[in-house]
Structure 1
Amino acid sequence: MKTTHKIAGARAIYRVVRAGRAVLGRNDRDIVVRGGINYELDLSQGIDFAIYLGNIYERQTKAALRRLVSPAALVLDIGANIGAHTLHLAQLVGPNGRVIAFEPTDYAFRKLTRNLELNPELKARVTACHCFLTERDADLVPAAIYSSWPLAREAGLHAKHLGREMRTEQARARSLDSVLSELADRKVQLVKLDVDGFECDVLRGATALLRDVRPIFVMELSPYVLEEHATSLDQLMSYFIPNGYSFYDERTSRPLPSTARELARMIGDGAGINAIARVD
C-alpha cells in the first residue's frame, strides 16, 4: 500500500480519536504502555498514532525482527526515529545484547531520547547516536531530513509520502564502518535500515560491514525516494549482490527478483516493499 493511502486512513481515524479525547478533556499528548514498552506520544504524528492504536506500527517488520534477532546479539537500528523498533530490538536482544540506534534529525532524536528514558532497563542496552550515516566522517550533513508524518493537513509536505522535513543542526556525519570500529564489541547480527532514500549514503560507508560481516538487513525498497536523492534501486542492489546477498519478501520469506528492473516493476511508483537481505 502506498504511504499516501496509509496516511489518509490514519487521518480519518485520528479525527475521530481526537474528538473523543477532547470530550474527555485530553489533548494529543499521552504516555502509554504498548508491548511492555513505555512511550511518550504525540497523537498528531503518524508513527506515534500507530503505536497508540494497539502498537500497529510496522507490525510485519516487528514480526520479522522477532524471527531473526538472536538473544545477546548486536543489532543496528538505522533511521530510529522515535524508537519504535529500537526499544523492540532492545527487548529481543535481552540483557546481554546491544542495540546501536542512529537518528539524524534533532526532532526525532529528542523523542527517541525521551522514550529511552521512560524504559531504563531497555535504555541500558541501547547506544543512541545523533548522526547522519554517510561515506566519510567529514561529509556534509543535509540541512533537513524527513522524520515527521503529521496527521493534520499542512502545507509543505512531501507530495507522495506526506512527510515533513526536520532540521539536523546537532547531527554529525559518520561512516558506519567508523562508528562500528569504535562501538562494536561483537559482530553485527542484523541491521534495520529505513532512511527514506539515503540508503546508498549509508551503504557507501559500510564497505567493511558488507564485505566482512555480512549481517542480515531488514529494509524498505522504495525506488522513488532513492531517485529523489539521485541514486537508484540498481545502485542500492550493487552493494548487496556482489557480497553474496539475496532479497526476500519480509512477510512471506519468498525470494524477490534479483534485478532492479524486475523489482521496480513489482513495487510500482510511489510505493515500497519491505524486504530481508541476507547471505545464504
Structure 2
Amino acid sequence: MKTTHKIGAARLMYRAVRAGRSLLGRSDRQIAVRNGINYDLDLAQGIDFAIYLGNIYERQTRATLRELVKPGSLVLDIGANVGAHTLHLAHLVGPEGRVLAFEPTAFAFRKLNRNLELNPELQKRVIPLHCFLTGKDAEPVPSAIYSSWPLTNESGLHAKHLGREMRTEAAQARRLDDVLAQFPDLRVQLVKLDVDGYECDVLRGASKLMKDVKPIFVMELAPYVLEERGTSLEELFSYFIPNGYRFFDEKHGNALPSSAAELGRMVSDGACINAIARVQ
C-alpha cells in the first residue's frame, strides 16, 4: 500500500478519535502505555497515532525484530524518529545489550529522548545520537529531513508520502564506522535502517561494517525516495550484493530479486517494500 493511502486512512480515524476525545475534554496529548512501554504521544502525528491505536505502527517490522534480535547484542536503529522501534529493541536486547539510536532532526530527537525518559530501565540500554550518518564527518548536513507525518491538513507536505521536513539544527555529520569504533568490544548483530532515501549516504560510511561484520538489515526499499536523493536501487544494491547479501520479503521470508531493475519493477511509484538483507 502506498504511504499516501495509509496516511489518508489514518486521517479519517484521527478525525473520529479527536471528535470523541474533544467531547470528553481531552486534547491530542497523552501519556500512553503500549506493550509495557510508556510513550508521550501527540495524536496529530502519524507515528504517535499508530502507537495510540494499539501500537500498530509497522507491526510486521516489530514482529520481524522480535524474531531476529538476540539478547545481549548491539543493534542499531538508524532513523529512530520518536523511538517506536528503539524502545522495542531495547526490550529485546535485554539488560546486557545496547541500542544505538540515530536521529538527525531536532523535532524527533526531542521526542525520542522524552520517550526514553519515561522508560528509565530501557533508557539505560539506549545511546541516542543526534547525528546524520554519511560518508565523511566533514560533509554538510541537510538543513531539513522528513520526520513528521501530520494528520491535519497542512501545506508544504511531500506530494507522495505526505511528510513534513523538520530542521536538523545541531545534528553533526558522522561516519558510521567511526561511531562504531567507539564500541570495540561490541559487535553489531542487526541494523534497522529507515532513512527515507538517505540509505546510500549511511552505507558510504559503513564499509567496514558491511565487509567485516555483515549484520542483518531490516529496512525499507523505496525506489522513488532514493531517486529524489540522487541515488538509486542500483547504488543501494552495490553495497549489499558484492558483500554476499541477499534480500528477502519481510512478511513472508521469500527471496527478492538480486537485480535492482527486477526489484524496481515490483514496486509502484510512491510505494515501498519492507525487506530483510542478510548474508546466507
TM-score of the aligned structures, taking structure 2 as reference length: 0.99
Shift of 1:268: 1.3
Distance in 1, matches of 2:240 and 2:110, equals 32
Shift of 1:185: 2.9
Shift of 1:186: 1.3
Distance in 2, matches of 1:184 and 1:200, equals 24
Distance in 2, matches of 1:183 and 1:10, equals 40
Distance in 1, matches of 2:249 and 2:71, equals 23
Partner of 1:188: 188
Distance in 1, matches of 2:265 and 2:134, equals 28
State whether structure 2 residue 153 is matched by structure 1 residue 153: yes
| Alignment of structure 1 residues 62-211 onto 2, 5 Å | 62-211=62-211
Letter in 2 for 1:140: P
Distance in 2, matches of 1:55 and 1:265, equals 32
* Structure 1 counterpart SS, 2:139: coil
Distance in 1, matches of 2:113 and 2:195, equals 19
Distance in 1, matches of 2:268 and 2:151, equals 24
Letter in 2 for 1:79: G
Partner of 1:23: 23
Q: Kindly provide the CA deviation profile for residues 204-232 of structure 1, in whole angstroms up to 9, marking residues without a partner as x.
A: 00000000000000000000000000000
Shift of 1:183: 3.1
Identity across the alignment (%): 73
* Structure 2 counterpart SS, 1:271: coil
Partner of 1:245: 245
For structure 2, the residue ranges without an aligned partner over 5 or more in a row are none
Distance in 2, matches of 1:256 and 1:268, equals 15
Letter in 1 for 2:274: N
Distance in 2, matches of 1:176 and 1:21, equals 43
Letter in 2 for 1:52: Y
* Structure 1 counterpart SS, 2:181: helix
Letter in 2 for 1:29: R
* Count of aligned pairs between the two proteins: 280
Letter in 1 for 2:69: V
Distance in 2, matches of 1:3 and 1:82, equals 18
Distance in 1, matches of 2:160 and 2:166, equals 17
Distance in 2, matches of 1:83 and 1:122, equals 11
Would you identify which runs of 4 or more consecutive aligned residues in structure 1 move more than 6 Å? none
Partner of 1:47: 47
Letter in 2 for 1:138: A
For structure 1, the residue ranges without an aligned partner over 5 or more in a row are none
Distance in 1, matches of 2:110 and 2:259, equals 39
110-119 or 175-184: bigger deviation: 175-184
Distance in 1, matches of 2:246 and 2:4, equals 29
Letter in 2 for 1:215: P
Distance in 1, matches of 2:262 and 2:64, equals 24
Partner of 1:221: 221
Shift of 1:184: 4.8
Partner of 1:10: 10
Q: Kindly provide the CA deviation profile for residues 126-169 of structure 1, in whole angstroms up to 9, marking residues without a partner as x.
A: 00000000001111000000000000010000000000000001
State whether structure 2 residue 279 is matched by structure 1 residue 279: yes
* Structure 2 counterpart SS, 1:267: coil
Q: Kindly provide the CA deviation profile for residues 179-216 of structure 1, in whole angstroms up to 9, marking residues without a partner as x.
A: 00013531100000000000000000000000000000
Distance in 2, matches of 1:230 and 1:58, equals 27
* Structure 1 counterpart SS, 2:166: strand
Partner of 1:231: 231
Distance in 2, matches of 1:146 and 1:248, equals 26
Distance in 1, matches of 2:104 and 2:183, equals 18
Shift of 1:247: 0.2
Letter in 1 for 2:76: L
Distance in 1, matches of 2:29 and 2:276, equals 34
TM-score of the aligned structures, taking structure 1 as reference length: 0.99
